[in-house]
Structure 1
Amino acid sequence: MPDPRPILRPVGGRATLRLLLLAAALGASGAHALQAATGVPPTSVLLDTLSVEGDGVGLTRAAPIGLNLRTPDRGASRLGLTPLETPGSLDIIAGETVRLRGQDTIADAVTQNGTGITTIASPGNGNGAFTSRGFAGPNSIQQLYDGTRMYVGANTVTFPFDTWNVERIEVLRGPASVLYGDGAIGGVINVVPKKPTFTPINVVRAGLGTDGIARLALDSGGPIGDAVAYRLNISGNRAGGWIDPVGDFRNLAVSGAILLQATPDLAFTVSHDLGYQEPARYWGTPLVNGRIPDAIRFNNYNVRDAKITWADNWTQLKTEWTPTADITVRNTAYRLQSRRHWLDVEQYAFNRGTGRIDRSDYLEIYHQQEQVGNRFDAAFRGSLFGFRNEFLAGFDVNHIDFRHTNNFYFDQTTSVPPTNYDPGLFPVNGRARPAYATQTDQASVFAEDRLILTERLSLLTGVRYDAPTLQRENLVTGDRFEKSFQGLGYRFGLVFNPTPDTALYAQYATATDPVNSLITLSQSLAGFRLATGEQVEVGAKGVFLEGKGEWTLAGYRIVKDNLISNVPGQLSVATQVGRQSSLGVEAALSFQVTPLWRVDANFALLRAQYDAFDQTVNGAVVSYAGRQPIDVPERVANAWINYAFARDWEARVGFQYVGTVYSDFGNLARRPAYGLVNLGLDHQVTPASRLSLRVFNLFDKVYAISGNAVDGVGTNWLLGRPRSVELAFTTAF
């Protein structure tokens, strides 16, 4: 795998300059010319960008495809280590890679590129439900935007959702509470947006596809004088949808940032991100005798006037000061706001006795959430006990106001025939009323240290302590209660580098998960204990053939105690499981096989189970020990094969496999494994423009992303996207 840094070091000389200018003008064929002249293989027909540094010119790859093991990041360590220096499993997914593969949502980008990650998210619950290493949901896989965490209300994460403004996505697998607090036993997904740049950038993309899909996006950036730079990304998407009725969707994402380089050592960045969504009002398709009949595959049993709207606003002020080469001070002040509204029917089940579809959970819900906070850290490079050392310490404080309006008092069930039905309207007497309000104050302190014992051996340690306090008021009765928690996470990791391009590592880490969604904690759950977990992981990573290939291999065991799980078929009822564990192995490979062929692949194999879980069912105690946890697949794999078959042309095929999962504790409601095939074809029309064709789910596989069950019987599946085609044109100016 070529280093994502400049693939040609800046050099002087007019001959070199002419060669590089010619290669850039030729597009993909220019990349092949460079390969012949320099031995550096092309990885994509995507237009490369020319950069000038001093008296030299370098060709930098706009799309660092691969595992990026030499790329510094702060996803797995706030010290900015590369994956080769980190004792843990980390995927760094380049934003341009995501866009080249036609992945327009964060969920698609993470699950089709990350190792062992799957999604169980529905259109109505945002993109906040992932599975990783045997654990599922936003309480176990935490999500960040540009390093900032938005506390999850009612298990719903609605931002970010669009990949147009993404610089990269960092996926840290395994416990990460030492970095980001509770809710990260399974891992962390950090979406990093594009940053202001002093190099002028102007890119436009337009796309059309089946089911009425239309996309339009703009990326603009550049200098405003000598000390100020900006970045602006706007993207909008809409479609009629593949399911009827109310399967259409539309959304708008705006991301803007301004950088002030006040002095060479001091920089300020202010940014604002807006997300507005009206997703498809689709919650699943009912099973008929355990299967989805073709006659109802594209039917939606929601009401005709169903509504879902989400509006998110994120404002951040970042300050970075480097008074010396060995000291870096960073501060981020932020305000996050979310407004959400649901009005729909969310549960559907086939009634064998009547032959009709029973509909329940007529819900209207409003969320009003505001989070204001500040994160500070300072990093120091020096020596400790005569060894080189890097140390960082900081704190994170925030205040969250959350208000929940709902109609949970309302109970209604209707039924419609499977076909030729009138979806009806939402009942006027079932509208929402104020239910409860919470105020949460959270404070944490954290520290991290890297001790370089020898040129080949380093020790990484870290600790974080969280102390959130919740106050909740029932807006109907006036009742109040207060609950405080304390969470401690820490890790120890060793990294040994037999060669500069190879790393062996071992890590022990602990983590905590909140009791349900912390800021929406109910009094009935207040007596539950925090879930705690620990992981032991060993692994190896490496770069070979002068950067043409990269690989990772990891084995781990995670044990989680006192986890909280929703009871299938009773979405408002939770239970505390005694113990759950997972034992697994993961591997990834990125290899430029020849100048024309490239392979990127990963897989995850695990054994996940409830170790101690007893529940009373119909008056009898039932043990689920040894059962596979709900929504957790034990086999996951991805592969992408690229072939630059002609001048300015490149084809790619992607494979995704997700193993069998279950919708109930007893493993009776089975959801089958599935495999998907996606295709891509790119043509570099001019040096500044590209035409892209995408085919999703080539063989039109019927598959379930998630599902519900009652008494061990599956009631409905949330189906994935059927076969669809999109054509996009991207141009720079």
Structure 2
Amino acid sequence: MKDFSLPLALLAGFCTPAFADHPPLTLPGASVSAEQEENTGLQLDDTADTGSRLGLTLRENPASVSVADRARIERLGARDFQEVANALPGVNASAPPGWGGYVAYRGFNGAQVNQLFNGISLQYGSANRPVNAWIYDRVELIGGPSSFAHGSGSVGGTLNYVTKLASREESAGEARISYARFDTQQTAIGYNQALNKGPGPRHYARVDFSRDASNGYIDRQERVADNLAFSLLSDLTPDLSHTLAIEYLEEQEDSPYWGTPTLNPKAGELKIDRHERFANYNVEDGRYEQRTRWLRSITDYRLDEQTSLRNTFYHYEGQRDYRNLEVYAYNADNSAINRSGGYRQRHDQELNGNRFELLRQAHLFGLASDWALGADYSVNQQSVYPHSGGAFDSVAPGDFDPGHFDDVPGMSAAARKSRSNEIETRSAFVENRQELGERLSLVTALRYDHIDFSVTDHLNAVQVDRRWDAITGRAGLVFDLSDNASFYVQYSTSAEPPGGTLTGASATQVRDFDLSTGRQVEVGSKLDFLDGRASATVAAYRIVRKDFPVTDPNNANATIQAGQQTSDGVELAGSFKVTERLLAEANFAWVDARYDDFNEVAGGVPVSRKGKTPVNIPERVGNLWLTYDFGPSWQGGVDARYVASVYANNANTMWVPSYTLFGAFVKYRVDERTDLTARLRNLTDEVYARFIHQSNSQYYVGEPRSLELSLNTRF
């Protein structure tokens, strides 16, 4: 057990009485109004729980923190939370089957970028498959190592998807219907209601429901998803409140699209046959299904004006089923496509945990000193039932019989449990913001994680038990150059379990390896200018990740823990109210990601990839939005997104080209509560790859040009 004497000693400042002029503490909570005024700009004085447990504003936080709130989600026309994430600086997210929620950020990807749901990590990439944006209040992002706040697996950064909760509004309703190309439809409704009035306990309820259906832009790919969220807020006393939140998702996709094969020879820029842009080489009855349930019980208690407690119990249960033919490759002369990779899989996952937090505003040496202390305990369990097959057939491009899953050799066998994983995590954390002067503050954080891990290989009767202890933290200085501009510098660290996410790790991935570590140095500035009409942020960073598994240079069949990767980058974001009618928003990110120590097997021998860029990492990502109010009832806008080319292999001898997507919209305000919007996506009908499968060089082709009509109303 680790020594907690240092964090406990820090409580000396915690017990110092607060001065009368110190502002009262605000209990954590979410407030959502269907008639909220649309916010513009970067909102540097808003808070973001993802970047700190202290309720710091974006300006007060010594880190690159970005937020897309509900007003911005609606302005962008984002359909799922990944589209919201892609609007944040430097993020490149997609959802190819088998990867679920893939995110590349600051030179890292996969499990190296933490994804949270209401501050809770599921510790498994496939569980992050994007969900319709309707039930989400905002998406938050903090750049770089952030294990100090949310635990392991965040060397690149952390995304947090925050759902709507019941608020203290008397009555607020909203609804949306939309229709787009490929029979893409959405029906959604949300309602917040005060359940009683008068003295005594007060109760407020909110319910949100959305249904999405589409025939898909790929042949035979059909999808339907239902999403329900309910929450009940109860003010039991003036100082005690409780929120019960329940979410349920059911999703089904027929003949999921696993990618488009690239033409031979596979060298240099990879290409596809554009005539087969929408071809689906999966079997006729391919399937993906997902059923998930979330439960949170949140209790807030205010002890006094300076001190509050929060306790969050959380439960997640998810089941995911796959049965598909996943691998397609052209023969040597590109006249036929060989299909293989039959795969059937089931994931059964359950997460249970409880988090306790204590917030205190005090003074130390006569200067304001805010504290957050807490502990978290969770048990994450997953069992998998995989079954795979090899070669199936060869088909000619164009019109072909896709066949059926049971026709793939060996796929009719009964399902067998292959592996069960259990991760028990005990954590303790402390965070402090200490004023050092009128314009200077120090923000520090420290977290301890104890991880007990067990994996059972049922087929080979093998069990491996491991335990790891990780201490991570950060220290940052914030200097207010003026009331509207600040400068910061910070140092932060992270820890990452071997095998990426332990819920999916095999015995061989964890048996002989320790935690990977990361560290970051970041400097930046945040400012409002031009009398508040403009705001901007800039951040420059270096991240070094060390001690991840690489091929042993002395034995091509063995792995050692010796890897290192460095990412240097710059992120810029800005918002400018050019005139009373014209709003310009943009962000841009550049990163130089490279391996310093990395070996892989090529031709049966270990080969160094020092200096090479990791797969699927774009060097540059940028977004631009222009919104113009033509009059009281009409608004229009254009947007652009640029993603640089990415490499398809670690040798950097194959790549897919960069792409730029353009869009436009026009919105008509029917009345003060109802809007009608026409939105055109991928205006130039660009053919592009959102993701490239490293193992088989399959393109994951992005959406073609489409027109969407939507009606939004508030009541």
TM-score, normalised relative to structure 1: 0.88
Q: Which runs of 5+ in 2 are unaligned?
A: 1-32, 265-269, 553-557
> Matched residues in 1 for 2:604 and 2:419: separation?
33
What corresponds to 2:431 in structure 1?
A: 448
Is 1:500 aligned with 2:479? no
Residue 415 of structure 1 and its aligned partner are, at CA, apart by 1.8
For residues 635-667 of structure 1, what are the alpha-carbon distances to aligned partners after superposition, in whole Å with 9 as ceiling and x for unaligned? 110011001123311111111000111111000
* Kept after mapping to 1: 8 A contact 2:248/2:294: yes
Structure 2 counterpart of 1:282, one-letter code: Y
> Matched residues in 2 for 1:204 and 1:124: separation?
33
Residue 591 of structure 1 and its aligned partner are, at CA, apart by 1.0
Is 1:265 aligned with 2:239? yes
Is 1:141 aligned with 2:113? yes
Is 1:671 aligned with 2:656? yes
> Matched residues in 1 for 2:184 and 2:95: separation?
21
* Kept after mapping to 1: 8 A contact 2:676/2:709: yes
> Matched residues in 2 for 1:423 and 1:591: separation?
52
Residue 554 of structure 1 and its aligned partner are, at CA, apart by 0.6
Is 1:542 aligned with 2:542? no
* Kept after mapping to 2: 8 A contact 1:370/1:400: yes
What corresponds to 1:190 in structure 2?
A: 160
> Matched residues in 2 for 1:97 and 1:519: separation?
34
Aligned CA distance change for structure 1 residues 566 and 705 (closer, same or farther; 3 Å): farther
What corresponds to 1:610 in structure 2?
A: 595
What corresponds to 2:213 in structure 1?
A: 238
* Kept after mapping to 1: 8 A contact 2:203/2:235: yes
> Matched residues in 2 for 1:271 and 1:81: separation?
25
- After superposition, where does 1:128-527 map in structure 2 within 5 Å? 128-137=101-110, 139-152=111-124, 155-158=125-128, 161-199=131-169, 200-226=171-197, 227-245=202-220, 247-279=221-253, 281-289=256-264, 290-353=270-333, 355-408=335-388, 410-427=389-406, 429-430=410-411, 431=413, 432-515=415-498, 516-526=500-510, 527=512
> Matched residues in 2 for 1:695 and 1:681: separation?
9
Equivalenced residue count is: 661
* Kept after mapping to 2: 8 A contact 1:348/1:715: no
Aligned CA distance change for structure 1 residues 531 and 208 (closer, same or farther; 3 Å): same
> Matched residues in 1 for 2:81 and 2:693: separation?
24
* Kept after mapping to 2: 8 A contact 1:158/1:310: no
* Kept after mapping to 1: 8 A contact 2:95/2:129: no
> Matched residues in 2 for 1:81 and 1:595: separation?
30
> Matched residues in 2 for 1:651 and 1:75: separation?
32
2:77 aligned to which of 93, 102, 105: 102
- After superposition, where does 1:57-68 map in structure 2 within 5 Å? 61=37, 63-68=38-43
What corresponds to 2:563 in structure 1?
A: 578
Residue 84 of structure 1 and its aligned partner are, at CA, apart by 0.5
What corresponds to 1:729 in structure 2?
A: 711
Q: Which runs of 5+ in 1 are unaligned?
A: 1-47, 51-59, 568-572
> Matched residues in 2 for 1:399 and 1:578: separation?
30
Residue 718 of structure 1 and its aligned partner are, at CA, apart by 0.4
Structure 1 counterpart of 2:108, one-letter code: F
Structure 2 counterpart of 1:473, one-letter code: T
For residues 611-642 of structure 1, what are the alpha-carbon distances to aligned partners after superposition, in whole Å with 9 as ceiling and x for unaligned? 11123322433111111111111111001100
* Kept after mapping to 2: 8 A contact 1:145/1:160: no
> Matched residues in 1 for 2:550 and 2:273: separation?
31
Describe the SS at the equivalent of 1:524.
helix
What corresponds to 1:718 in structure 2?
A: 700
Describe the SS at the equivalent of 2:698.
strand
* Kept after mapping to 2: 8 A contact 1:457/1:496: yes
For residues 676-703 of structure 1, what are the alpha-carbon distances to aligned partners after superposition, in whole Å with 9 as ceiling and x for unaligned? 0111111101111100111111100000
> Matched residues in 2 for 1:96 and 1:611: separation?
42
Is 1:85 aligned with 2:67? no
Residue 562 of structure 1 and its aligned partner are, at CA, apart by 2.3
> Matched residues in 1 for 2:383 and 2:149: separation?
28
Aligned CA distance change for structure 1 residues 566 and 252 (closer, same or farther; 3 Å): farther
> Matched residues in 2 for 1:695 and 1:391: separation?
48
Describe the SS at the equivalent of 2:73.
helix
Describe the SS at the equivalent of 1:433.
coil
Residue 327 of structure 1 and its aligned partner are, at CA, apart by 0.3
* Kept after mapping to 2: 8 A contact 1:577/1:612: yes
For residues 385-421 of structure 1, what are the alpha-carbon distances to aligned partners after superposition, in whole Å with 9 as ceiling and x for unaligned? 332101111111011221110104x333422111111
* Kept after mapping to 1: 8 A contact 2:242/2:298: yes
For residues 344-363 of structure 1, what are the alpha-carbon distances to aligned partners after superposition, in whole Å with 9 as ceiling and x for unaligned? 01111111257211122110
Residue 473 of structure 1 and its aligned partner are, at CA, apart by 1.6
> Matched residues in 2 for 1:551 and 1:690: separation?
30
Aligned CA distance change for structure 1 residues 423 and 160 (closer, same or farther; 3 Å): closer
Residue 609 of structure 1 and its aligned partner are, at CA, apart by 0.5
Q: Alignment identity in percent?
A: 31
Structure 1 counterpart of 2:395, one-letter code: V
> Matched residues in 2 for 1:541 and 1:263: separation?
39
- After superposition, where does 1:42-53 map in structure 2 within 5 Å? none
Aligned CA distance change for structure 1 residues 565 and 156 (closer, same or farther; 3 Å): farther
What corresponds to 1:122 in structure 2?
A: 96
Describe the SS at the equivalent of 2:280.
coil
Residue 66 of structure 1 and its aligned partner are, at CA, apart by 2.6
What corresponds to 2:672 in structure 1?
A: 687
- After superposition, where does 1:610-689 map in structure 2 within 5 Å? 610-689=595-674
* Kept after mapping to 1: 8 A contact 2:34/2:172: no
Structure 2 counterpart of 1:450, one-letter code: R
Structure 2 counterpart of 1:344, one-letter code: N
Aligned CA distance change for structure 1 residues 305 and 184 (closer, same or farther; 3 Å): same
For residues 520-554 of structure 1, what are the alpha-carbon distances to aligned partners after superposition, in whole Å with 9 as ceiling and x for unaligned? 22111121232111000000001123322110011
TM-score, normalised relative to structure 2: 0.90
Structure 2 counterpart of 1:73, one-letter code: A
Residue 160 of structure 1 and its aligned partner are, at CA, apart by 5.6
> Matched residues in 1 for 2:505 and 2:476: separation?
34
Aligned CA distance change for structure 1 residues 465 and 596 (closer, same or farther; 3 Å): same
For residues 141-169 of structure 1, what are the alpha-carbon distances to aligned partners after superposition, in whole Å with 9 as ceiling and x for unaligned? 111111122121xx312456111111111
> Matched residues in 2 for 1:64 and 1:562: separation?
44
Query: Could you list the runs of 4 or more consecutive aligned residues of structure 1 that deviate by over 3 angstroms after TM superposition?
Result: 563-567, 573-577
> Matched residues in 2 for 1:248 and 1:616: separation?
39
Residue 514 of structure 1 and its aligned partner are, at CA, apart by 2.1
Structure 1 counterpart of 2:252, one-letter code: E
What corresponds to 1:23 in structure 2?
A: none
> Matched residues in 2 for 1:354 and 1:402: separation?
41
> Matched residues in 1 for 2:476 and 2:375: separation?
22
For residues 301-360 of structure 1, what are the alpha-carbon distances to aligned partners after superposition, in whole Å with 9 as ceiling and x for unaligned? 000010100011000000111111110111100110000000001111111257211122
Residue 222 of structure 1 and its aligned partner are, at CA, apart by 1.8
> Matched residues in 2 for 1:179 and 1:293: separation?
46
